[in-house]
Amino acid sequence: MRILIVDDEPPMHDSYRRSFAGPRSSDGSALDAMAAELFGDDLDNSVADAPAFALTYCEQGLEAIAAVEQALADADPFAVAFIDVRMPPGIDGRETAKRIRALDPDVNIVIVTGFSDFSPVEISKVAGPADKIFYIAKPFEVAEILQTATALAQRWRNDCDLATARNLLAAQVVQLEEQAAELAANESRALHMATHDSLTDAPNRLAFLRALAARTRDDGLFATVMIDLDRFKLVNDTLGHLAGDALIREICVILNRSTPDGALVARLGGDEFGVLFETAGEAAAVMACELIVAACSVSLQVFGSSVQGGASAGLVVTPGGQGRDPVDVMRRSDLALNDAKRGGRGIVRVFDESMDEGIRFRRRVESGLSQAIAKGELSLAYQPIVSRDAIDVVGFEALVRWNTQEYGLMSPATFIPIAEESNLIHELGDWVLGQALDVLQQWPGQYVSVNFSPRQFRRHNFVGHIMESVQRAGIAPARLQIEITETAIFDDAERAAETLYKLRQMGFRIALDDFGTGYSSLYNIRKFALDCLKIDKSFIDGMGRERESAAIVHSIIHLGRALGLGVIAEGVETEAQVQALRLAGASHMQGYFFSRPVNAERALEMARKGTVSGSDDVSTDDHRIRQTFGMRS
């Protein structure tokens, strides 16, 4: 390390040379003790172990300042500067220290003088800070100089190392901030892609359903309109699909221009559009729809050809504030549209109950569901969840099945929404949870994942009810994964956050189901206590066909990994999907590629073996799976 000596007396330079080259005096041990008290116990007390110093001697202050400038330019600065105070005829030590400090804030300065015109306080004011300026009286001891130089040089080295570490940490913080910004930008792009139509950039079906779900919770009448283009297939067949795309874009512009103020216009798919707007009543809504249909009935120029536009509309007017099922509202509007197309083109039809055989069907289902448990018509199937890098079964999702006397095996997608609209969901949910926990007792270590509907999640004392159930079954909370959708937590985010926090504190696993189809945002993920995200099957299905779906899947996996969450891909059915998801970094997968949902006996066999293989009655090809994962049979 480099030491700067500034003194106008050549004999003093000889004294410094002897100090750094000769043995210590008998007072060295006392000075060592003083240095240890000043600079810490890590100070090396051995002369033999003292660092090698490179000494630079200057007789005047200006010469010393030039030496400091040159050292900084060479990137080889001084660690310590010993400066005399009186150095006629040049500048004095106080001014020299001041200028050196201005050039190099890191150097340790030692004022060495027998008599000074300035007090230490005065020198410290111009050459401080106080912790980087020290004083030694002339005449000095050899050991005193060497000990001071050794201690301050080591301190200078520590300060340099600390500054380097701080700069590295600052650079890492900047990098993390840039990654966070990139993550947020990717999320924003992914959300836009997920909620907007790529052809028209209008909101898509998902965005329309979101808006409709939100509107059903607000008071006041609103109109939901399904619009379908007339003779659109003829345009595609005669002018080609590019012309059809151009026509759809033109009609989208017309709809946005002709709908009431504040209306939402969405492209639902193909040549079908949805419109949502506030209305004073059914008559006003019909008038607005007739204006929309009339605006679409115009001649348009498409790729140099004249095309006659036209549209039919189905309308349903709904009172808000009742939490109506948005899918059901759209279905009613769609029934009205079908009636309009059957009645001729270019007309508006309003929904009425006579159009809906489905309503009567729902009533029969609700009646049958209330007796299904007592009749023993319900059962559970279990679909295994496997790890990413092997075919190890880590858990099972419990799926309810209903084999009705009247309709045979009924899809949960049919009867669960009906149960959700009534209090039957609580009775059904309690039965599912109890059955799943009973089966779980026989498994060696896997967890069971149980779906809970929004109404169940908002149930009074939901946390206490779940805890009581696992305690009664003698099951550790960590072996129960609670699956909820974003809809379940969005209505009352504060209460949902508190509920999820309590569940996590008790040890339950929390999975956000159908991620990407609801109100997905970084805010939600950070706010709520979660363990993993489940990617909706619709995105997995579209990975090989749609660039948007693949981008969304990759974004969700990247987001989950960045936040330390597991990511389960649902609906995996092909080897190509498995390989793509493994490369993307999904932590777990489930789907028909591994196993269809199985009964409790088969699930127990899988759980005990820890693999999906081993039974002839299951369609899973064990050899095929092992080849996919690069494993020997």
How many angstroms separate the CA atoms of 540 and 577, rounded?
A: 7
Per-residue pLDDT at 84: 92
Task: Measure the CA–CA gap between 331 and 284, rounded to whole angstroms.
Answer: 21
Low-confidence ranges of the chain (pLDDT < 50): 23-28, 30-31, 35, 38-39, 42-48, 614-620, 632-633
Q: Determine phi and psi for 563, rounding to 5 degrees.
A: -95, 5
CATH class of 377-399+425-628: alpha beta
The pLDDT score that the predictor gives to residue 402 is 95
pLDDT at 149: 92
- Residues paired with residue 378 on neighbouring β-strands, in sequence order: 402
β-sheet bridge partners, residue 392: 611
The residue extents of the domains of the chain are: 2-163, 205-355, 377-399+425-628
The Cα–Cα gap between 326 and 216 comes to 7
Q: Return the half-sphere exposure (C-beta side, CA atoms, 13 A cut-off) of residue 165.
A: 6
Cα 101 to Cα 108: distance, rounded to the nearest angstrom? 9
Helix residue ranges, H only, 563-631: 575-584, 600-609, 622-628
State the virtual CA torsion across 27, 29, 30, 31 in degrees, nearest 10: 90
> Which helix or strand (DSSP H or E) is residue 197 part of?
none
pLDDT for res 571: 93
Could you give the CA distance from residue 492 to residue 217 in angstroms, rounded to a whole number?
12
CATH architecture of 2-163: 3-Layer(aba) Sandwich (3.40)
pLDDT tens string 512-537: 988 866 555 565 677 788 999 999 88
Rounded to an integer, what distance in angstroms lies between the CA atom of residue 138 and that of residue 308? 106
CB-CB contact of 550 with 499 (8 Å): no
**Residue 437: predicted pLDDT:** 97
End-to-end alpha carbon distance in the chain: 65
Exposed / middle / buried, residue 128 (Cβ in 10 Å: 0-12, 13-18, 19+): middle
pTM here is 0.51
| Whether the Cβ atoms of residue 453 and residue 487 lie closer than 8 Å to each other | no
The closest of 196, 200, 265, 194 to 227, measured between CA atoms, is 265
Name the CATH superfamily for 205-355.
Answer: Reverse transcriptase/Diguanylate cyclase domain (3.30.70.270)
User: pLDDT at position 26, please?
Assistant: 41
Task: Identify whether 139 is preceded by a cis peptide bond (ω within 30 of 0).
Answer: yes
pLDDT score, position 347: 92
Q: Which residue(s) pair with 203 in the sheet?
A: 196
